[in-house]
Amino acid sequence: MAERYSSFAPGGTSWLLQRVTAAFLIVVLAFHFFLLHFVNHAADITFAGSAARMAEWGYYATMILFLVTATFHGVNGVYNALINQGLDGTTKTVVKWGLIVAGLLLIAQGIRLANVLAGGA
């Protein structure tokens, strides 16, 4: 008893981050849908328009944050749903690292694309 346990126990951190990202995603998703589906119809979205938006620092930062939080929320959600189904042992480790790698690849590709749109690289 009374031993010092580490701050940020793994289960608790991911649960908290899942909730925080969920709250953030509600706001950013609403922004996304209003701007790119309701105010401007999807048919009217052009590459030049996207490039112009991405060139703005604030929009670029929001989209990168959107990408990172959505990836974490999705990957962590799938992983926890599988744990709920009784995922255990070696399969669990393989699935966990598979999802992490897939998530990192998605983020890398997303940032690469954002940079292209913003006019860099």
Partner 1 sequence: MSSDASEPADAAAAEAAAAEETSPEPAEEEAAADEGPAVPEPQQRRLAEKRARSGADAVLDDAERAAPAVEDDQTVHLRVYRYDPEVEDKQEPRYDDFHVPAKDGLSVLDALIWARDHYDSTLTFRHSCRQAVCGSDAFFINGRQRLGCQTQVGDLEEPIRIEPLPHSSVEKDLVVDMEHFYDQMDAVEPYFQSSEDPPGELEERKQSPENREKVKLSTRCIWCSACMSSCNIAAGDNQYLGPAAINMAYRFAMDERESDDATEHRFTTIEQEHGVWRCQTQFSCTEVCPKDIPLTEHIQELKREAVKKNLKFW
Instruction: Return residues touching partner 1 (CB under 8 A).
Output: 1-2, 5, 7-16, 80, 83-86, 88
Q: Which long-range contacts (CB under 8 A, 24 or more apart) does 55-64 make?
A: 55/118, 55/119, 60/114, 60/118, 62/28, 62/31, 63/114, 64/110, 64/111, 64/114
| Residue 91: CB minimum distance to partner 1, A | 14
| Residue 13: CB minimum distance to partner 1, A | 8
8 A C-beta contact, residue 30 and residue 39? no
The residue written with tokens 């060139």 in the block is: 55
| Residue 112: CB minimum distance to partner 1, A | 34
Q: Considering the complex, state which of residue 20 and residue 55 has its C-beta at the smaller distance from partner 1.
A: 20
57 phi, psi to nearest 5 deg: -60, -45
| Residue 54: CB minimum distance to partner 1, A | 34
Q: Considering the complex, state which of residue 62 and residue 76 has its C-beta at the smaller distance from partner 1.
A: 76
- In degrees, rounded to 5, the angle at the alpha carbon of residue 38 between the alpha carbons of residues 37 and 44 is 55
Q: Considering the complex, state which of residue 28 and residue 83 has its C-beta at the smaller distance from partner 1.
A: 83
Q: Considering the complex, state which of residue 13 and residue 109 has its C-beta at the smaller distance from partner 1.
A: 13
